[in-house]
């Protein structure tokens, strides 16, 4: 992998024809250390957010040793790239063959489920194994999150009691897990979900060994600036401590976006301007899938020397393919004098940007460069600043 000191320096000196993915290993490592040191339990990375082998190794080296895998492909990937990792198969609906391979070939011992049928499948596929950690997924609200995950998975309130009791009978360790949705904008999302966990435990009368609060931890985007992550952790810790569980019970989480969003960005070139529309060389079928299909707004900046003095105005983007759907409405705020031939960095694409891109219509680029500069926005740099201020406070 090539290296460069900054996004601006790369754009000005190399003037790339195709999109260039920028990665910031130091940003991913910083995010991992933050969760390892501050989350009051075990943090495992949700691989679906970005399955880059380099990223997996960075996170592992920074202390994230457990990985939430959702398919046998992810199981094989992590087992190959990070041999010392612990894998947890947290997709509630799995092929029986995938469970069997995960257990017998890759040493997976943790599985999630949300139905009795899935429980029976796990028991069959593992041939009645007695060393399983089985996490029953509850359906909880996604009201506080930008992307709902409340419809597809999770045992409903009327189903949880029977399922928890049945799972307790075959599990070495019984867990309860949930997912509040992606980009949860308030810690209240976790407080509400943990109340649902409390009710389920009381109704079923079972001993619970693991509570997994799932993912949903946010990153910072234009118009989506969340509270500090420490507030989420404090809310989760208080709720966990109040649950009717044993002193030895473990608290887990599954951050995806929060660990990798700041890791990656992309440099694109403006090929044409039409009023407030910019035609760029990446788009809906590349790293900007979310910008096109769910209207996600990413931070952008013009990479030009000397820097523009023009006021900012709102732009939308068209990607390079022939498809009208290759359109990102934004608004993306850029200097009003942006023109064809200019370069733009689109930030915070480490989560799902690389994972969702294709080579549709023959467009795309695999060029990746590591840079040393900071992401355009960061929850963790702000956290470092808060820590520095706190350490300098004189206590009387």
On whether both 307 and 348 belong to a single domain, the answer is yes
Instruction: Give the pTM.
Output: 0.93
User: What kind and span of H or E run contains 177?
Assistant: strand 173-177
Distance CA 326, CA 354 (A): 17
On whether both 272 and 246 belong to a single domain, the answer is no
How many other CB atoms are there within 10 angstroms of residue 153's CB atom? 20
On whether both 119 and 254 belong to a single domain, the answer is yes
On whether both 10 and 128 belong to a single domain, the answer is no
Flag whether pLDDT at 1 surpasses 80: no
Of the candidates 279, 253, 254, 256, the residue with the CA atom closest to the CA atom of residue 340: 279
Tokens matching residue 156: 């409903």
* Structural contact between residues 343 and 269, judged by C-beta atoms closer than 8 angstroms: yes
* Structural contact between residues 20 and 369, judged by C-beta atoms closer than 8 angstroms: yes
Of the pLDDT bands very low, low, confident and very high (cuts 50, 70, 90), residue 381 is confident
Q: Determine, yes or no, domain membership for 394.
A: no
Residues 118-150 have pLDDT tens digits of 999 999 999 999 999 999 999 999 898 888 888
What CATH number should be reported for the domain holding residue 305? 2.40.37.10
On whether both 113 and 18 belong to a single domain, the answer is no
In the chain, how many domains are there? 2
With 0-12 / 13-18 / 19 or more C-beta atoms within 10 angstroms meaning exposed / middle / buried, residue 21 is buried
Tokens matching residue 12: 């000005």
Residue 370 phi, psi dihedral angles, 5° rounding: -85, 135
Q: Determine, yes or no, domain membership for 385.
A: no
What pLDDT sits at residue 386?
Answer: 56
Average pLDDT, the chain: 94
């Amino acid at each position: 992998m090539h290296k460069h000191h900054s996004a601006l320096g790369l754009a000005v000196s190399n003037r790339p024809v195709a999109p260039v993915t920028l990665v910031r290993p130091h940003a991913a490592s910083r995010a991992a250390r933050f969760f390892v040191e501050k989350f009051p339990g075990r943090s495992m990375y949700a691989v679906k957010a970005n399955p880059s082998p380099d990223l997996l190794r960075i996170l592992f080296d920074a202390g994230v040793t457990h990985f939430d895998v959702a398919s046998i492909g992810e199981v094989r990937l992590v087992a190959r790239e990070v041999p010392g990792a612990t894998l947890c198969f947290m997709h509630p609906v799995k092929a029986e063959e995938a469970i069997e391979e995960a257990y017998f070939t890759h040493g997976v011992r943790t599985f999630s489920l949300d139905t009795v049928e899935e429980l029976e499948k796990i028991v069959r596929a593992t041939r009645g194994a007695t060393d399983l950690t089985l996490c029953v997924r509850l359906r909880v609200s996604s009201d506080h999150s930008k992307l709902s995950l409340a419809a597809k998975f999770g045992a409903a309130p009327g189903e949880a009691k029977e399922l928890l009791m049945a799972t307790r009978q075959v599990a070495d360790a019984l867990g309860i897990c949930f997912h509040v949705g992606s980009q949860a904008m308030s810690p209240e999302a976790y407080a509400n979900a943990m109340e649902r966990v409390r009710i389920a435990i009381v109704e079923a009368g079972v001993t619970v060994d693991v509570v997994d609060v799932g993912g949903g931890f946010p990153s910072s985007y234009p118009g989506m600036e969340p509270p500090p992550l420490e507030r989420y952790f404090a809310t989760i810790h208080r709720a966990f401590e109040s649950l009717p569980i044993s002193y030895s019970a473990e608290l887990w989480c599954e951050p995806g976006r929060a660990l990798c969003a700041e890791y990656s960005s992309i440099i694109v070139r403006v090929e044409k301007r039409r009023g407030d529309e910019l035609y760029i060389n990446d788009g809906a079928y590349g790293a900007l899938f979310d910008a096109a299909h769910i209207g996600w707004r990413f931070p952008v900046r013009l990479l030009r020397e000397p820097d523009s003095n023009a006021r900012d105005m709102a732009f939308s983007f068209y990607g390079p393919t022939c498809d009208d759907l290759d359109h990102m409405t934004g608004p993306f705020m850029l200097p009003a004098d942006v023109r064809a031939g200019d370069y733009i960095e689109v930030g915070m694409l480490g989560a799902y940007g690389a994972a969702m891109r294709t080579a549709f219509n023959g467009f795309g680029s695999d060029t990746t460069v590591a840079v040393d500069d900071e992401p355009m926005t960061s929850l963790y740099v702000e956290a470092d600043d808060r820590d520095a201020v706190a350490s300098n406070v004189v206590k009387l």
